Amino acid sequence: MTALLAASGLGKSYPGKTYPDTSHPGAGRRGERPVLSGINLSLGEGECVALLGRSGSGKSTLARLLLGLEEADAGTVRFRGAALPGLDRAGRRAFHAAVQMVLQDPLSAVNPRHSVGRILAEPLRHLTDLPSPARDARAGELLAMVGLDPASAGRLPGQLSGGQVQRVGLARALATRPALVVLDEAVSNLDAPRQVEILDRLAHLRRAHGTAFLLITHDVRLARRFADRVVVLSEGRIVDASPCRPGLALSHPAARELVDAVLPASPRMAREEAR
């Protein structure tokens, strides 16, 4: 079976200094800063994978490469078997409709001048052949799907709360009925009640539509709760991987560090740990 989205030997460098540049005088002065190297990752239809890593590990860059927003220096991304750079116009359109992303900061990810309805219609206008009335209907449907009042289609993002705008961002990503939604730290910075709510909502969508998800996060708890398996990224390389059930079995030091960083569930556990 061909994978929905597969990366093989993916690498990416940015021009500029490496951090901490002062510790290697001259080392990164004019050189390339490698962000990703040798990434092999395959996502199946309907599969839910968590990409786990610290900030600066290259998670967001990988997401951009997978979405074709940037070009890799090495390796290829294949969408249902076809290499991304080789796609023709129609192929690219089908790819963008099938692979969507929710960005981290909800408020800055929507144009403050556009109404919620217009925000939701944008992918429909560019990626589908729906006529205008059908787009409006779909926007209403999407709002209901993420638990927002369909009447909010006429409002501006500034008139909604942060949590509501995050749901608008999710609704936009779901507009074209994608096969895969990438969540780039889109859940990590919410408070716990909102995290639980949005994860439950996503789990429901997954059951109802068979949508695949790539959850990018630094929080092991979110990965464990939501994903089928986790892939650990550290310093631009995949260093560990494990299915989530029956339990995470991670051994790489970078992975252990992330597991150990989870804060205690209650104060008593905190004291016991201290002892």
Partner 1 sequence: MIPAGFPARSGSVAVAGALAAGLVLLALVGPLATPHDPLAVDLTRRFEAPGFAHLLGTDHLGRDILSRLIAGARTTLGSVLAVLALVLGLGLAVGGLSGMLGGRIDAVLMRLCDVFLTVPTFVLALFMIGALGTGLVNVVAAIVLSHWAWYARIVRGLVLELKTRDYVLAARIAGAPPLAIFAEHVLPGVVPPLAALATLDIGHMALHVAGLSFLGLGVQPPTPEWGVMINDARAFFWTRPLLVVWPGLAIALAVLAFNRLGDALRDRLDPTLVAGRGL
Partner 2 sequence: MSARTLRAEGLTVETWRETRRAREPVPLVRDATLELREGEVLALVGASGSGKSLACAALLDVLPPGTRRRAGCILLDGAETEPASLRGRAVACVLQAPRTAFNPLRTIGDHAGETLSVTGLRGAAGRAAMEQALAEVGLGDDPRVPDLYPFQMSGGMLQRAMIALALLSRAPFLVADEPTTDLDLVAQARVLDLLAGLVRERGLGLLIVTHDLGVVARLADQVAVMEEGRIVETNTAAALFAHPSHLATRALLAAHRALHEVP
Q: Which residues bind partner 1 (CB under 8 A)?
A: 67, 69, 93, 96-97, 100-101, 103, 105, 107-114, 122-123, 126-127, 156-159, 161, 169, 172-173, 175
CB of 245 to partner 1, least distance (A): 31
Residues 250-269 touching partner 2, rule: CB under 8 A, are: 257-258, 260-269
> Among partner 2, partner 1, none, what binds residue 86 when CB lies within 5 to 8 Å by partner kind?
none
Cβ-based burial of 156 (10 A; exposed 0-12, middle 13-18, buried ≥19): middle
Number of residues lying near partner 2 (CB under 8 A): 41
CB of 103 to partner 2, least distance (A): 16
Separation between Cα atoms, residue 113 and residue 152, nearest integer Å: 15
Cα–Cα distance between 160 and 170 in angstroms, integer?
15
To partner 2, the closest distance from the beta carbon of 99 in angstroms equals 25
How far apart are alpha carbons 14 and 135 in whole angstroms?
39
The one-character DSSP state at 170 is H
22 contacts which partner out of partner 1, partner 2, none, CB within 5 to 8 A by kind?
Answer: partner 2
Quickly count: other Cβ atoms within 10 Å of residue 100's Cβ: 23
Q: Nearer Cβ to partner 1, position 113 or 268?
A: 113
Give the amino acid at 2: T
Which listed option, partner 1, partner 2, none, makes contact with residue 260 (CB within 5 to 8 Å by class)?
partner 2
Interaction partner, residue 225 (partner 1, partner 2, none; CB < 5-8 Å by kind): partner 2
Sheet order of strands, 32-43 included? 32-43, 5-15, 74-79, 82-83
Listed residue (85, 79, 83) closest to 212, CA to CA: 79
- Sole binder of partner 2 in the list 60, 100, 164, 195 (CB under 8 A): 195
- Look at the alpha carbons of 186, 117, 137, 176 in this order and tell me if their dihedral is positive or negative: negative
Question: Length of the chain, please?
Answer: 275
191, 251, 272, 275: which one contacts partner 2 (CB under 8 A)? 191
- The 30-59 site mask, x for binding partner 2 (CB under 8 A), equals ------------------------xxx---
CA 263 → CA 118, 164, 211, distances in Å? 40, 27, 31
CB nearer partner 2, residue 134 or residue 262: 262
Residue 110 CB-density burial (10 A; 0-12 exposed, 13-18 middle, 19+ buried):
buried
**In terms of CB distance, is 107 or 144 closer to partner 1?**
107
Binding mask 82-121 for partner 2 (x = CB under 8 A): ----------------------------------------
Residues that bind partner 2 (CB under 8 A): 19-23, 54-56, 161-163, 189-196, 218-222, 224-225, 244, 247, 257-258, 260-270
